[in-house]
Structure 1
Amino acid sequence: MTAFIKQEATEKAREIEIKADEEFAIEKSKLVRQETDAIDAAYRKKFKQATMSQQITQSTVANKTRLRVLGARQALLDDIFAAAEKRLGEATQDKARYAAVLKGLLLEGFYALSESDVRVRARKADYEIVREAIGAAAAEYKEKTGSEVAATIDEEDDLPDGR
């Protein structure tokens, strides 16, 4: 009888051990899955942060480059404007060429405005040459379009010297 009880106890112990091993395996796989998911989530978060950081860095570098290009372009434009301003002062030295340029500009203005009465602003120093250019431009305008234009110098509101 003791052998039977011992046998029953051994079988019961084996069943309990098997059941405990199964529960342990289930709990272990559940914990492994949870930790794997947590590690995957942490990896995704770090990857997203690294990607965002890389995009920010690229954007910063691109903006700095763009600003350098814009700065260089502005410096070049400033140089061009300074050179043009210097050459504009020299343009009035050759009177014949200056008169031709004024006539062309006046004629272009007459065409653009298409008005019969035009007031022209000029520097006091250029009044005489502008009068001659107005006459020549008005004559050519009449010849080309067939309509007359009356242009006068606005002596009340003249341009400042140096421009």
Structure 2
Amino acid sequence: MHKSEKEKQISKMIQFILTESQEKSEEIKLKAEEEFSMEKNNLVQEERFRIIKEFERKMKQVDVQKKIAQSNLINQSRLKILEAKYECVEDILRIAHQKIIKLSDNKEKYKEILKELILQGLHKIREPKVLLQCRECDLEIVKSIIDDTVKEFMKVAKMNCIVTVLEKDFLLPPPEKGSNKPSCCGGVVLNTPNGRIVCTNTLDYRLLLSFEGLLPEIRGLLFDLDQEQEN
């Protein structure tokens, strides 16, 4: 084989190799680009999915926080309403208390009240011997009515009864204006000598009993009226 033919053969082989390598290179390049594109799409999709999930999580978190805030506001509003209602009820009790303080100002009327309170206490206790406590300022009034009151009780109860008015052991004094000291608006406390039976019949105690008994009705009148006005 001549030199020129060899050179031609070598040139063809070189050209073939170059062409083949170029094709392989293009094929590898295309495959790499395809894989890159697929990987990029996967990463984009994953990131997109992550962002959507994060957004949904934050939206749920915002929604939960909003609900918590609304619930707190509702609870605070309810507490304020309850406090206002409580204060309103307490105001009624204070007004009633101020009224019973003045009951002893009318001596004749207060004397009748004391008699009824003593009679009621005696009927509750129904014992032959009773000790009676009153305020020091009421001592003279009590002493002036005790005999007739006991006779009236014995006539109705058909039993004998001796009532001893305590002249050293008194109930608390009347309320003083502008003072928060413990006090008593009037009335009596009756008990047996052994202390086993006690009947508290003070005006303060009777007011609390009446107030507690009427509390549902008071609340109904006050707060049902409020609801009607709102509607």
Specify the TM-score bucket, using the shorter chain as the normaliser.
Answer: 0.5 to 0.7
Whichever residue aligns with residue 66 of structure 1, its letter is R
Farther-moved stretch of structure 1 (75-84 vs 113-122): 113-122
Give the equivalent residue in structure 1 for 2:179.
none
Give the equivalent residue in structure 2 for 1:24.
36
Residue among 65, 68, 73 paired with 2:80: 68
Structure 2 segments unaligned to the other structure (5+ residues): 1-11, 176-184, 186-231
**CA apart distance, 1:28:** 1.2
Distance in 2 between residues matched to 1:150 and 1:40, nearest whole Å: 91
**CA apart distance, 1:111:** 6.8
Whichever residue aligns with residue 42 of structure 2, its letter is K
Whichever residue aligns with residue 88 of structure 2, its letter is L
**CA apart distance, 1:32:** 1.7
**CA apart distance, 1:39:** 0.9
Alignment of 1:42 onto 2:51: no
Structure 1 segments unaligned to the other structure (5+ residues): none
Please identify which structure carries the higher helix content.
Answer: 1
The aligned runs of 1:71-110 (5 Å cut-off) are: 71-94=83-106, 98-99=110-111, 101-106=113-118, 109=121
| Preserved CA contact (<8 Å) 1:116 1:150 | yes
Q: Could you say if the C-alpha distance between residues 10 and 129 of structure 1 is closer, same or farther in structure 2, counting changes exceeding 3 Å?
A: same
Distance in 2 between residues matched to 1:25 and 1:107, nearest whole Å: 105
Give the equivalent residue in structure 2 for 1:58.
70
**CA apart distance, 1:54:** 1.4
Residue among 174, 177, 187 paired with 1:161: 174
**CA apart distance, 1:88:** 0.5
Farther-moved stretch of structure 1 (19-28 vs 63-72): 63-72
Farther-moved stretch of structure 1 (40-49 vs 19-28): 40-49
Alignment of 1:9 onto 2:21: yes
CA offsets per residue over residues 38-57 of structure 1, 9 Å max, x none? 31343144224413431342
Q: Could you say if the C-alpha distance between residues 4 and 134 of structure 1 is closer, same or farther in structure 2, counting changes exceeding 3 Å?
A: farther
The TM-score with structure 2 as length reference comes to 0.50
**CA apart distance, 1:116:** 6.3
Distance in 1 between residues matched to 2:133 and 2:153, nearest whole Å: 20
SS of the aligned residue for 2:174 comes to coil
Number of equivalences: 162
Larger CA Rg, structure 1 vs 2? 2
How much identity, in percent, do the aligned residues show?
Answer: 32
Q: Could you say if the C-alpha distance between residues 151 and 25 of structure 1 is closer, same or farther in structure 2, counting changes exceeding 3 Å?
A: farther
